Structure 1
Amino acid sequence: MESCSNNLSTKVFFLMGFPDLQDYQTSLFLVFLLFYLLILVGNTIIITVVVVDHTLHKPMYFFLMNLSVLDMLFTTTTIPKMLAMFLVNAKTISFWGCFLQMYSFHGLTVTEALLLVVMAYDRYEAICNPLHYLVKMTRRWNIQLAASAWITALLIPVPVITQTSQLAYRDTTKVHHCFCDHLAVVQAAYSDFRADFQTFLGFSIAMTVSVVPLLLVTLSYIHIILSVLKINSKEGRVKAFSTCTSHLLVVATYYSSIAVAYVSYRADVPVDVHITSNVVFSILTPLLNPIIYTLRNEEVKSAVKKSILGKICPISSKKFDLFG
Structure 2
Amino acid sequence: MKEENNTGALQFLLLGLSNDPKLQPFLFGLFLSMYLVVVLGNLLIILVVSSDSHLHTPMYFFLSNLSFVDICFTSTTVPKMLMNILAHNKVITYTECLTQVYIFMIWGGMDNFLLTVMAYDHFVAICHPLKYMIIMTPQLCVLLVLISWIIIFCFSLLHILLLIQLTFSTGNEIPHFFCELSLLIKVATFDTIFNINIILLYVSSILFIVCPITGILFSYSQIISSIVRMSSFSSKYKAFSTCVSHLCGVSLFYGTALVVYLSSAATHSSHESSVTSVMYTVVTPMLNPFIYSLRNQDVKGAIGRFIIKAASGP
- So what's the TM-score if we normalise by structure 2? 0.93
* Aligned residues of 2:106 and 2:153 also touching (Cα < 8 A): yes
Cross-structure match for 1:2: 2
Secondary structure (helix, strand or coil) at the match of 1:114 reads: helix
Q: Tell me the distance in 2 between the aligned counterparts of 1:35 and 1:195.
A: 40
Q: Tell me the distance in 1 between the aligned counterparts of 2:309 and 2:239.
A: 29
Q: Tell me the distance in 1 between the aligned counterparts of 2:114 and 2:286.
A: 17
**More deviation, 36-45/209-218:** 209-218
**CA gap 1:53/1:252 in 2 versus in 1, 3 angstroms:** same
* Aligned residues of 2:100 and 2:179 also touching (Cα < 8 A): yes
Secondary structure (helix, strand or coil) at the match of 2:267 reads: coil
Secondary structure (helix, strand or coil) at the match of 1:243 reads: helix
Secondary structure (helix, strand or coil) at the match of 1:13 reads: strand
Secondary structure (helix, strand or coil) at the match of 2:99 reads: helix
**More deviation, 247-256/185-194:** 185-194
Q: Can you give the 5+ residue segments of structure 2 that lack an aligned partner in the other structure? A: none
Secondary structure (helix, strand or coil) at the match of 2:168 reads: coil
Secondary structure (helix, strand or coil) at the match of 1:171 reads: coil
Task: Give a deviation string over 1:278-303, Cα, whole Å, max 9, x none.
Answer: 23221122111101011111111111
Task: Give a deviation string over 1:195-222, Cα, whole Å, max 9, x none.
Answer: 9663464245325421211111110111
Cross-structure match for 2:88: 89
Q: Tell me the distance in 1 between the aligned counterparts of 2:12 and 2:218.
A: 42
Task: Note the C-alpha offset of 1:133.
Answer: 1.0
Q: Tell me the distance in 2 between the aligned counterparts of 1:77 and 1:162.
A: 20
Q: Tell me the distance in 1 between the aligned counterparts of 2:65 and 2:226.
A: 27
Cross-structure match for 1:142: 141
Q: Tell me the distance in 1 between the aligned counterparts of 2:223 and 2:53.
A: 27
* Aligned residues of 2:264 and 2:270 also touching (Cα < 8 A): no
- So what's the TM-score if we normalise by structure 1? 0.90
Task: Note the C-alpha offset of 1:140.
Answer: 1.3
Q: Tell me the distance in 2 between the aligned counterparts of 1:130 and 1:256.
A: 30
Question: Aligned-residue CA RMSD in angstroms?
Answer: 2.1
* Aligned residues of 1:108 and 1:154 also touching (Cα < 8 A): no
Task: Give a deviation string over 1:16-54, Cα, whole Å, max 9, x none.
Answer: 213444431111111000010000010011001101111
Secondary structure (helix, strand or coil) at the match of 1:272 reads: helix
* Aligned residues of 1:15 and 1:178 also touching (Cα < 8 A): yes
Cross-structure match for 1:319: none
Amino acid at match of 1:53: D
**CA gap 1:9/1:195 in 2 versus in 1, 3 angstroms:** farther
- Aligned 1:1-324 pairs, distance under 5 A: 1-4=1-4, 6-193=5-192, 198-199=197-198, 201-203=200-202, 205-308=204-307, 311-312=310-311
* Aligned residues of 2:102 and 2:156 also touching (Cα < 8 A): yes
Secondary structure (helix, strand or coil) at the match of 1:67 reads: helix
Q: Can you give the 5+ residue segments of structure 1 that lack an aligned partner in the other structure? A: 315-324
Identity %: 36
**CA gap 1:117/1:307 in 2 versus in 1, 3 angstroms:** same
